[in-house]
Amino acid sequence: MSDLQQRDPEIFHLISQEEKRQQNKIRLIASENYVSTAVMEATGSVLTNKYSEGYPGKRYYEGQQYIDQVESLAIQRAKDLFGAEHVNVQPYSGSPANLAVYLAFLAPGDTILGMALPHGGHLTHGAKVSISGKYFNAESYSLDQQTGRLNYDTIRDKALACRPKILIAGHSAYSRVLDFPRFREIADACGALLLVDMAHFAGLVAGGAHPSPIPYADVVTTTTHKSLRGPRGAMILCKQEYAAAIDKAVFPGLQGGPHNNTTAAIAVALKEASTDAFKQYASQIVKNAQALAATLIERGFDLVTGGTDNHLMLIDLTNKGVTGKIAAKALDAAGIVLNYNAVPYDTRKPFDPSGIRLGSAAVTSRGFKEEQMVQIGKWIDAVIADPANTALQADIAAAVQQLCSGFPAPGLEYLG
């Protein structure tokens, strides 16, 4: 019996149940993944016991002999992997990372310009319900209504009209590659700093399956737990000239002590992401997303932008006569987990929108290839064609579990 099982059987039981859920279901939430056992070991290590406000070589507490080395290794690995001049590995997650960038360069009321939340942007890119939209004058750009794609001429016009101090590129639900040279040109034309939030596709950048924003952006933020396959954390990568402003904004501007166990796990994930195996992983993520997209398009699904270049796709279910929420709940009952999502120009409310979002990073980590993605597409089609059919959902859930048993998930191999 483990110590946790003895001391807190309720939490032990819930964690065990979650382990089984992650092993037995097909996880298509585009922002999720499976970390390796090594990343999990670092996350659950004694480093959680240590305070270390400050940065390597300049701390406010003693006893940093090993913590400084851990953080320095994480920073060096991130610099090497992404070719960045300066890296801060302390932000607790993506939202604080973006806020730290705003704190470094903006005063309250300054203008920022980012992708509108209902069009695939992130809350912290200026959504009115977020601090980024309350404390700053947040302007947004939208997707083209005909193509579902970014229209760079329109973004340029908007940027020249509102003259943001920061232009933000990046998304949570856009299935196409971003044109970083074009964003750079627009930022230069309006005198803005260019911030790229690569949280969703950082793993693809690391593995060479997506262009890198590093040569073009002044500052890049990323979470570490999505396609990058690390622990729940974040990093800020920037040009050397912004290093002091960024570091000061993270600490003491926004945060106290960094989570050293997370920093160590980020270092481990970055080492894993610098291997040839990770390059193959990144390229397989895109192949898998494209195989799933093709299967769904063949069956009449309306994919925003008509397909995908990355790990995710957004589907407008209006032509199927099913709402995103009904579809997501029916699919969950069938063992296929994803999230309902607004689509561009959605006429429905965000809590009950018209679409669903799917991603391939987690299933690719467990070894799924195109063949399994085609099968998943067929199951999704069957469930959405008859979302009230609970018998069908139960049959598919059993088949899903059977399929998953042949692909043990990283970190959960012992469950088989």
Residue 369 appears among annotated catalytic residues: no
Point out the catalytic residue in the list 41, 53, 185, 395.
53
Instruction: Confirm if 143 and 150 have CB atoms less than 8 A apart.
Output: yes
> Which residues does 136 contact at the CB level (< 8 Å), separation at least 6?
102, 106, 108, 109, 110, 111, 112, 126
- CB of residue 171 vs ligand DSN: minimum separation in angstroms? 9
- CB of residue 341 vs ligand DSN: minimum separation in angstroms? 9
224 contacts ligand DSN (rule: CB under 6 A): no
Site for ligand DSN in 318-377 (CB under 6 A): none
Point out the catalytic residue in the list 77, 158, 226, 325.
226
Amino acid at 270: L
142 contacts ligand DSN (rule: CB under 6 A): no
- Joined tokens for residue 15: 């964690």
Residue 53 appears among annotated catalytic residues: yes
- CB of residue 226 vs ligand DSN: minimum separation in angstroms? 7
- CB of residue 269 vs ligand DSN: minimum separation in angstroms? 17
- CB of residue 172 vs ligand DSN: minimum separation in angstroms? 4
Residue 66 appears among annotated catalytic residues: no
Site for ligand DSN in 112-141 (CB under 6 A): 122
Nearest to 197 by CA among 54, 304, 95: 95
Of 122 and 366, which CB lies nearer to ligand DSN in the complex structure? 122
Point out the catalytic residue in the list 156, 232, 271, 378.
232
Gap between the Cα atoms of 258 and 400, Å rounded:
40
Of 70 and 206, which CB lies nearer to ligand DSN in the complex structure? 206
CA R_g for the chain: 21
Point out the catalytic residue in the list 124, 221, 223, 305.
223
Of 31 and 132, which CB lies nearer to ligand DSN in the complex structure? 31
- CB of residue 64 vs ligand DSN: minimum separation in angstroms? 31
Point out the catalytic residue in the list 19, 51, 156, 287.
51
Amino acid at 120: G
Nearest to 34 by CA among 355, 368, 264: 368
Residue 139 appears among annotated catalytic residues: no
User: Which of 140, 142, 172, 360 is in the footprint of ligand DSN by CB under 6 A?
Assistant: 172
Point out the catalytic residue in the list 32, 71, 139, 197.
197
Of 54 and 231, which CB lies nearer to ligand DSN in the complex structure? 231
Residue 252: asked if its preceding bond is cis (omega within 30°), the reply is yes
Of 33 and 288, which CB lies nearer to ligand DSN in the complex structure? 33
31 contacts ligand DSN (rule: CB under 6 A): yes
Cα maximum dimension of the chain: 64
Gap between the Cα atoms of 296 and 307, Å rounded:
10
Gap between the Cα atoms of 61 and 74, Å rounded:
20
- CB of residue 199 vs ligand DSN: minimum separation in angstroms? 6
Of 75 and 266, which CB lies nearer to ligand DSN in the complex structure? 266
CA atoms within 13 A on the CB side of 215: 7
Alpha helices, H only, 49-165: 67-82, 94-105, 131-134, 152-162
Query: Can you say whether residue 325 is alpha, beta or left, with left for phi > 0 and alpha for psi between -120 and 50 degrees?
Result: alpha
Residue 154 appears among annotated catalytic residues: no
Residue 226 appears among annotated catalytic residues: yes
Gap between the Cα atoms of 361 and 28, Å rounded:
8
User: Which of 94, 114, 126, 148 is in the footprint of ligand DSN by CB under 6 A?
Assistant: 94
Alpha helices, H only, 106-240: 131-134, 152-162, 180-190, 202-206
Active site amino acids: 51, 53, 197, 223, 226, 232
Interface residues with ligand DSN (CB under 6 A) are 31, 94, 122, 172
